[in-house]
């Protein structure tokens, strides 16, 4: 696990389930960003994260991820999750600046998909040293 993420989680002292969902959700969103995937709905995100997880529960995970990305200066990947009815990005996306979800998605895709320099939950061993 990336050292920055590990230290953040240690400081939060969350229950194991909450921590695991946040880490798995961040990993999943980084995969979306790397492929430049279209946004997914809360329901789609929740089901991919943990089968049977309610979409409402996924919003807490997204908020945790958004707060972490803001604190760590990582690209905003929560902008890949939107409401099925409104198309609006998750509240977690709004934890990171005023750039808006379209710009945030583009920025995340450039970082993870094009340049490949975005920080990862599971970095390559050489990258974590740097």
Residue 41 pairs in a beta bridge with 82
Residue owning tokens 């583009």? 106
Average pLDDT per consecutive 10 residues, the chain (130 residues; last block may be shorter): 97 96 97 90 94 90 91 91 84 66 88 95 67
**What pLDDT is recorded for position 76?**
86
Q: pLDDT for 14-27, tens place per residue?
A: 999 999 999 999 99
3-state SS string over the chain? Answer: CCHHHHHHHHHHCCCHHHHHHHHHHHHHHHHHHHHCCCCEEHHHHHHHHCCCCCHHHHHHHHHHHHHHHHHHCCCCCHHHEECCCCCCECHHHHHCCCCCHHHHHHHHHHHHHHCCCCCCCCCCHHHHHC
**What pLDDT is recorded for position 68?**
94
**What pLDDT is recorded for position 130?**
46
**What pLDDT is recorded for position 128?**
47
Residue owning tokens 């991919």? 48
pTM: 0.89
**What pLDDT is recorded for position 86?**
85
Separation in Å, CA 76 to CA 22, 46, 73, 128, 129: 14, 18, 9, 20, 23
Domain ranges of the chain: 3-129
**What pLDDT is recorded for position 89?**
82
């Amino acid at each position: 696990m990336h050292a920055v993420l590990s230290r953040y989680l240690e400081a939060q002292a969350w229950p194991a389930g909450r921590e695991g969902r946040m880490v798995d959700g961040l990993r999943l969103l980084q995969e979306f960003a790397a492929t430049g995937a279209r946004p997914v709905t809360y329901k789609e995100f929740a089901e991919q994260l943990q089968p049977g997880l309610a979409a409402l529960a996924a919003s807490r995970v997204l908020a945790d991820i958004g707060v972490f990305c803001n604190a760590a200066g990582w690209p905003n990947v929560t902008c890949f999750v939107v409401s099925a009815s409104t198309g609006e990005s998750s509240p977690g996306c709004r934890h990171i600046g005023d750039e808006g979800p379209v710009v945030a998605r583009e920025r995340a895709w450039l970082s993870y998909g094009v340049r490949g320099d975005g920080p990862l939950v599971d970095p390559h061993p050489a990258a974590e040293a740097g």
